[in-house]
Structure 1
């Protein structure tokens, strides 16, 4: 019986070694991913990330995000401008006896809630329609006073304005106090509106500013506005401003510190930034020479006459064991939707095989005894 048991264990040992090619692993080995890239029928291309390669890839189109423009800064009037839809409150003062504008023993009368019509005018008794749109409150006051002086020579006028829809903007979300915000003047900027709404929600990752004007959408990041004050464009009545988290993301799989989906926490995320965000690579399992970035380009990137990749599917390889690889990784930008794959070290699989073989020999020795 001892010889039979020993024979059975030797068979189990051979089966174990033969099955080592399909041992459970946490990630693929680099050669498994890049195998066949040099063949004419390959549907993907492999590019090592190096100092010499960076200028070329910088000219390739970005993937995974829609391009938006932003409006340059412009200066407007620091004065308030009356628009259609605004509401005026007018107080008329007249000290003359038997004034047509006052009742007995009255020295002032108030015309409240005078809504500026679509045509830009208000109605004033004894004067009729008066166009006040596109004027400052002080200019409109002087116009009313001149016209009322034809009826009451000593009249004086006070005027105040409550902004309507055309003289306000909507802070839709991403701020402490969203809602409709009145524009105090024509130099009211995006940053001023965010401040008036209580500031940006602190929970947002790399906040993005979306400005909707008429049927066009413009986008930039809050950090860019901080760094470039000349980008703090002024708003127009009816604009809608939305503050939201950066919608871009990348994925992490394999022998990495964490396997998950990660948001962009800044405008430009490099390969080294991405590795830091995911917690690096596993010290005992990962191949530091085989960090891969998988990306898929649109078909338009392959058109003749344009600088771009050879194939739509691209694998970028990063070697973290050389100075060129590390420096280049710091200057290689991750695109939205990229997959950062930390491949398994071949040594890790070899260690498992040795462990299995050693275990099998131990069983054989036990059976022999």
Structure 2
């Protein structure tokens, strides 16, 4: 009678899970994890930048662009009647000259001069040639004051969102992130996305710092976004918590996932019954099962027995992926204890009712 009643429990037991195997005319392949299975299923997101990003050279910090602000200084070799300054003023300063949308600047007595695409030295020579016919031996200096003409936008999980000019110290991705105040989330779960035109590339922040080849040169108009990794797994059964759990690291093993939710319940968990439920792509499922005829996603149940000599090593090496369900069954004796409690509880309740009926 007790066996027929539905005693409370957090989910199926091992026998019920194995009953759903394809071998028992179910719809899931149940696979015991070993070294071969671990290698076949060790797939993690591969991020990176395409050749369009990686092959772009560093923008010349001295190259003038439309929108830049320049500071011009002209020294004239005359005393009484300078071309640009007042009488007796041999030095004339133009400290806020902005390059217009067509890439030109206007210099008094020199007219409109093409500035965009030139270096300050090239522009200096062009202005000198224009003024040389009007004032003897002019000495000109050109300085790029601000680089607003070449800028990037930074948003997301950074300490200083905004639009930043590409200048000499900030011509690469990592330098620009530092200029924005650094990352506002844990580095292990930070993803950096760069959009340029109609193309987007992204990398793990850790990989960006560890691999100089990923520290791409920036271009005008780049959009940089820092976001948190949104992968998660679900923990159920006899674990410390039952919840949807976000990844805390770039890679996550089964043993780390169990530890992340508080470990196995010391009172109820069965260490021989740790299961990982997953919809596996056909190519991986075929590799795991040693087949080549499976088509489409396959329901897979991976079994970990932590009591085996290599069980802890297998759990340490088995990679958890986005969307996995980690389920730990209860030890058999737990259900037996519930059964005994139900019997003794029923007997106790009957005895109490009998006492009340007899007036005791």
Q: Where does 1:152-167 land on structure 2 (aligned, <5 Å)?
A: 152-167=135-150
Q: Which residue of 2 aligns with 1:42?
A: 26
Q: Which residue of 2 aligns with 1:258?
A: 241
Q: Which residue of 2 aligns with 1:351?
A: 337
Q: Distance in 2 between matches of 1:166 and 1:42?
A: 64
Q: Where does 1:206-245 land on structure 2 (aligned, <5 Å)?
A: 206-245=189-228
Aligned pair 1:183/2:166, yes or no? Answer: yes
Q: Which moved more, 1:71-80 or 1:359-368?
A: 359-368
TM-score in terms of structure 2 length: 0.84
1:53 counterpart SS class: helix
Q: What are the ranges of 5 or more consecutive residues in structure 2 without an aligned counterpart?
A: none
TM-score in terms of structure 1 length: 0.82
Q: Where does 1:1-369 land on structure 2 (aligned, <5 Å)?
A: 15-19=1-5, 22-39=6-23, 41-58=25-42, 68-70=47-49, 71-72=53-54, 76=58, 79-96=61-78, 97-185=80-168, 188-202=171-185, 206-297=189-280, 312-360=298-346
Shift of 1:49: 1.2
Kept in 2: contact 1:210–1:219 (CA 8 A)? yes
More relative contact order in 1 or in 2 (CA 8 Å, sep 6+)?
1
- Decide whether aligned partners of structure 1 residues 310 and 172 sit closer, same or farther in structure 2, where only a CA change above 3 A counts: closer
Shift of 1:34: 3.1
Q: Distance in 2 between matches of 1:341 and 1:226?
A: 36
- Decide whether aligned partners of structure 1 residues 363 and 180 sit closer, same or farther in structure 2, where only a CA change above 3 A counts: closer
1:76 counterpart SS class: coil
Q: Distance in 2 between matches of 1:221 and 1:195?
A: 16
Q: Distance in 2 between matches of 1:121 and 1:184?
A: 20
Q: What are the ranges of 5 or more consecutive residues in structure 1 without an aligned counterpart?
A: 1-14
Shift of 1:78: 6.1
Q: Distance in 1 between matches of 2:304 and 2:231?
A: 22
Kept in 2: contact 1:68–1:217 (CA 8 A)? no
Q: What value does the CA root-mean-square deviation take over the aligned residues?
A: 3.2
Q: Distance in 2 between matches of 1:298 and 1:33?
A: 21
Kept in 2: contact 1:296–1:314 (CA 8 A)? yes
Q: Distance in 2 between matches of 1:166 and 1:87?
A: 8
Q: Which moved more, 1:309-318 or 1:212-221?
A: 309-318
1:277-314 C-alpha deviation (Å, 9 max, x unpaired) = 11111112111111111112457877999798885222
